[in-house]
Chain A
Amino acid sequence: MTESDPRDDAPLSTSKRSDAVADATQHLADGKGSSIVARAVTINRPVGELFAYFRDFANLPTFMENVERIDVLDQRRSHWVVRGPAGKSYEWTSAITDEAQDSFIAWSSEDGADVPNSGRVEFRDAGARGTVVVATILYDPPGGVIGKLIAKMFQREPAIQARRDLRRFKQLMETGEIATAAMNRKQHEEELA
């Protein structure tokens, strides 16, 4: 950034400028991807509890709807299998590039990823309101712009998904369950399928 940069205090992901993604890439360790999305949620629980739950990646499929499974390979690396539009699955191996206990986790996909992506989840103590969780994700949508449109139609677009996943994370942490309007267990299983 130059000294005469007119940028404000708003998050980069909300920038109207075309070079925002490039800026964001610089700010993220080992940034990958041409689309950027950031979502924030305030969760009425202590930061330590949220960080610990999130950091155990095996927990993530409980609220990340489209994540079929995550195999934890070691302390840093995990293998992700994610449902995409039209019954397709996407896979990648993700590695933590940087982290600080109760503060943030940054990751990046390794070479050969179906959907190259990188990002950062921050946890910030918000006093009486609990914890602010901000997820910033950079990704290359499969099939470029057209793929992104198709994904959006099928509601498996990462921007939509990230917002919903964070809401489910909040629900699970605050209420112990994930809200559903299903009238019975059969309907509920169909929803999750």
Chain B
Amino acid sequence: MRALAWHGKHDVRVDTVDDPEIVNQRDCIIKVTATAICGSDLHLYDGYIPTMQAGDILGHEFMGEVVEVGAKSTLKKGQKVVVPFTIACGSCYHCGKHQYSACDNGLPADNQDIAQEIYGQPMSGLFGYSHMTGGYAGGQAEYVRVPFSDVGPIVIPDGVEDEKVLFLSDILPTGWMAAENAQIEPGDTVAVWGCGPVGLFAVQSAFLMGAERVIAIDHFPHRLELAKKFGAETINYEESAVYEALMVMTGGIGPDAVIDSVGLEAHGFFVDNVVDQIKASTFLGTDRTHSIRQAIIACRKGGRVSMPAVYGGFVDKFPLGAFMEKGLTLKTGQTHVQHYMPALLNAIMEGKIDTTFLISHRMDLEDAPKGYDMFKNNQNEVTKVVLKPGFN
């Protein structure tokens, strides 16, 4: 089959590789009909994520048709499914609590060592996202082997177009969980750093959860326009001073809840960010974190901090004093996708959540390297690239 493989920093290629097969009884094989490039794929593309190996197949946002099932899969050939990016067993203690991204059994035993060393406990497996998260081949391919297919993939009713439901795989539940973690109360003002796909879904979700005002922060005018479309007020950090603007806009109180959906590759010419960038490029630190610092400083006293953004390693200059003195609450984590999928599928079907607005580009899988380059270098206009095998 054809698949998008990582070969090094800024080097991804569509290669011909062996087809996947059923290996374990709970597996299924799907024929991919649509897959997307995620903002977090850019962290791999930019070489920020350790334990990548040349030839690793990328992609963790994908859906398709079931073409083969293992003896213990509950799926049927021909069904259309969206696959969660988190690989979770459904049987362990954490899955029982619907903490799917904390699944004990999603990672092969040997791959658990790295996470155990640096995080204390291993997390669930992820598709197409380095060997620390299992080394599973991803979905930017013609076919994918999906483990635990009896608990992961959600079956999509006939006649629903792929683009409407594709984002159930990651960014829609991630934006939703980000808003949920902000513990929004009616009348709240919520500030969202980063108007990428997750941030834009967080904006929509925050309003659905009762926020009175949402303030969206970014520097790409087109992305801010999209946030505005959903009713958010906007701050362009290249035009305005963020903390000062937030203080005036909230009457000196600060936002009740802040959401950092930027993460480890924060842009912007700020002193701390430049220092982080130098450290990251010299391996003295791995994460660049201006947005989370600013969010904590701006948040109102006793407020909530939600951090859907991906961080992988260690940071310094984390404003621990402000965090403690103001009595903030921080909630974060990789998304428990399986937990959110059914309700969000309903919300899409009922027209409560708009998903397709995000897609700016549709391409053939063969053009995936071009898609990465565009997504990386023109983030203003390229909000989401959807790849479809055989599109041309």
A174 near B135 with CB under 8 A, answer no
CB pair A184–B104 under 8 Å, yes or no, is: no
Cβ contact of A185, chosen from B21, B87, B113, cutoff 8 A: B21
Bound CA–CA A176/B89 (angstroms)? 10
Given A184-B18, A184-B20, A186-B18, does the pair A179, B108 have CB atoms closer than 8 Å? Answer: yes
Interface of B is mostly: loop
Number of contact residues on A: which range applies? 20 to 34
Within 8 A of A (CB), among B169-210: none
Task: State how many angstroms separate the Cβ of A152 from the closest Cβ of chain B.
Answer: 12
The answer to whether B125 touches A179 (Cβ under 8 A) is: yes
Bound: A160/B147 CA distance, A: 25
A167 within 8 A of partner (CB): yes
CB-CB nearest in chain A for B111: A181
- On whether the beta carbons of B20 and A176 are closer than 8 Å, the reply is no
Q: Are A176 and B25 in contact (CB under 8 A)?
A: yes
The answer on a CB contact under 8 Å between B107 and A179 is: yes
* A164 touching B110 in the complex, CB below 8 Å, given contacts A176-B72, A183-B145: yes
Kindly state the interface size class of chain B when it binds its partner.
Answer: 35 or more
Contacting residues of chain B (39-96) with chain A, CB-CB under 8 angstroms: 72, 87, 89-93, 96
Q: In the complex the two chains form, is B93's CB within 8 Å of A181's CB?
A: no
Contact residues, B103-151 vs A (CB, 8 A): 104-113, 116, 125, 134-137, 145, 147-148
Kindly state the separation between the CA atoms of A185 and B29 in the bound complex, as whole angstroms: 13
Taking the complex as formed, is B23 at the interface, i.e. its CB lies under 8 A from any CB of chain A? yes
Show 13 residue pairs from A and B whose CB-CB distance is below 8 angstroms, ordered by the A residue: A44-B91, A165-B109, A170-B104, A174-B104, A175-B105, A177-B24, A179-B109, A179-B147, A180-B147, A182-B23, A183-B17, A183-B21, A188-B23
| Given known A-B contacts A129-B93, A185-B23, A188-B23, A179 and B18 have beta carbons under 8 A apart | no
B219 at the interface (CB under 8 A from A): no
- B14-40 interface bits toward A, Cβ cutoff 8 Å, 1 = contact, 0 = none: 000111110111100000000000000
Give Cα distance in the complex from A175 to B27, angstroms.
Answer: 12
Residue from A177, A178, A187 whose CB has the most chain B CB atoms within 10 Å: A177
Is B26 in contact with A176, judged by CB distance below 8 angstroms? yes
Report B343-359 CB contacts with A as 1/0, cut-off 8 Å.
00000000000000000
- Measured between beta carbons, the chain A residues less than 8 angstroms from B134 are 179, 181
**Are A183 and B137 in touch, CB under 8 angstroms?**
yes
User: In the docked arrangement, what's the CA distance between A183 and B24, Å?
Assistant: 10
B18 touches A183 (CB 8 A): yes
Q: Name the CB-closest residue of B to A171.
A: B105
Complex interface: chain A residues within 8 A of B110 (CB): 155, 164
> Per-position contact with B for A152-171: 1 when CB-CB < 8 Å, else 0?
00010000100111011011
A41 to B106, CA, bound (A): 15
A184 in contact with B91 (CB, 8 Å): no
Chain B residues positioned under 8 Å from A44 (CB to CB): 91-93, 96
**Which B residues are in CB contact (< 8 Å) with A170?**
92, 104-105
B152 to chain A, nearest CB (A): 12
Contacts of B87 in A (CB 8 A): 179
Question: In the complex, what distance in Å separates the CA atom of A171 from the CA atom of B110?
Answer: 12
Contact partner of B25 (CB less than 8 A), chosen from A163, A177, A185, is: A177
B211-230 residues at the A interface, CB under 8 angstroms: none
18 A-B pairs besides A179-B24, A179-B89 with CB distance below 8 A are A42-B93, A155-B110, A160-B113, A167-B112, A168-B109, A170-B105, A171-B89, A174-B91, A174-B92, A175-B91, A176-B26, A177-B25, A179-B106, A179-B107, A181-B111, A182-B23, A184-B145, A185-B23
Contacts of A184 on B, CB cut-off 8 Å?
A: 18-21, 23, 145
For chain A, residues 64 to 78, give those with C-beta under 8 angstroms from any C-beta of chain B: 65
User: Are A171 and B93 within 8 A (Cβ)?
Assistant: no
The complex places the Cα of A170 from the Cα of B103 at a distance, in Å, of 12
Per the 8 Å Cβ criterion, residues 22-75 of A in contact with B are: 42, 44, 65
- Report A-chain residues with C-beta under 8 Å of the C-beta of B106: 179
Q: Give bound CA distance, A160 to B110, whole Å.
A: 9
* Residues of chain B within 8 A of A181, CB atoms compared: 108, 111, 125, 134-137
Q: Is A130 an interface residue (CB 8 A)?
A: yes
Interface mask (A78-109 → B, CB under 8 Å = 1, otherwise 0): 00000000000000000000000000000000
